[in-house]
C-alpha cells in the first residue's frame, strides 16, 4: 500500500481503522460495546465513524459480527495499549502507514478526526486512546507492554513524540451505565 501524505493530511487509503474493544466493562456492569445509544450498538457507531476515514476497519480484543478481529498484543488484559499495539502490528503486516484508533465506548467522534490528528503521531488530549499513530511504532508499544513500565498510552505517546490535540468538542466516553443514561437524556 502506498503512503499518501500531503500538506493537508494522510489519505484514508494509507490508514487502518481500529476499534479498541478488549476491556472487561467492569464499571459498566455489562458488555458496553453492545450497549445501544440512538438504537445502535456503541461498537458499530465507532466502526462506522472510522470506516468513513480509513481504508478498512478492524476490531481489536474481541470478536464482533461482520468485522475482522485481531487479539490484543502481546496478550489479553493489558489495557488499551495492548489493543493499540495489536492494531499497529496488524497495520504493518497489511502495509498501512498509520492506524486511527478509537475505543468501542467513544461516542460522537468527529467525522474529520483523521484530519484533526494530522500531522501525526497525535492523540485526543481528553481521550488518549483516540489517536493517529504511525504503524512503525508497534515495537515501541510492545516494548512498554513487555517491560515493568506502566502500560500508559500517554507514556507511549511521549516515547514516540506524539502531540496532544484538543478537539472543539470532546467525544463522549461511555464507561458506566450512568454515562449512557446521561448521553441518552442529553440527546447525544
The answer to whether residue 3 is domain-embedded is no
What number is the average pLDDT over the span 8-34? 76
Residue that wins the pLDDT comparison between 10 and 176: 10
- Residue 95's alpha-carbon distances to 41, 88, 99, 134, in angstroms, are 30, 10, 11, 11
Range of the domain at 168: 14-185
pLDDT value at 26 more than 60: no
State the total domains in the chain: 1
Please list, in sequence order, all residues whose beta carbon lies within 8 angstroms of the beta carbon of residue 79, skipping any fewer than 6 positions away: 151
pLDDT of amino acid 56: 97
The answer to whether residue 46 is domain-embedded is yes
pLDDT value at 12 more than 80: yes
pLDDT band at 1 (very low <50, low <70, confident <90, very high): very low
Task: CATH number of the domain at 116, please.
Answer: 3.90.550.10
pLDDT band at 2 (very low <50, low <70, confident <90, very high): very low
Amino acid at each position: 500500500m502506498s503512503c499518501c501524505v500531503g500538506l493537508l493530511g494522510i489519505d484514508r487509503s494509507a490508514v487502518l481503522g481500529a476499534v479498541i474493544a478488549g476491556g472487561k466493562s467492569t464499571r459498566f456492569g455489562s458488555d458496553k460495546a453492545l450497549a445501544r445509544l440512538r438504537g445502535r450498538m456503541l461498537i458499530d457507531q465507532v466502526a462506522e465513524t472510522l470506516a468513513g476515514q480509513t481504508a478498512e476497519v478492524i476490531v481489536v480484543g474481541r470478536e464482533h459480527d461482520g468485522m475482522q478481529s485481531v487479539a490484543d498484543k502481546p496478550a489479553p488484559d493489558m489495557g488499551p495499549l495492548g489493543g493499540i499495539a495489536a492494531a499497529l502490528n496488524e497495520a504493518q503486516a497489511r502495509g498501512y502507514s498509520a492506524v486511527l484508533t478509537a475505543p468501542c465506548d467513544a461516542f460522537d467522534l468527529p467525522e474529520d478526526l483523521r484530519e484533526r490528528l494530522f500531522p501525526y503521531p497525535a492523540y485526543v488530549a481528553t481521550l488518549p486512546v483516540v489517536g493517529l499513530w504511525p504503524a512503525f511504532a508497534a515495537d515501541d508499544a510492545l516494548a512498554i507492554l513487555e517491560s515493568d513500565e506502566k502500560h500508559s498510552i500517554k507514556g507511549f505517546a511521549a516515547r514516540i513524540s506524539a502531540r496532544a490535540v484538543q478537539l472543539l468538542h470532546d467525544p463522549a466516553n461511555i464507561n458506566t451505565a450512568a454515562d449512557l443514561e446521561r448521553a441518552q437524556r442529553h440527546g447525544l
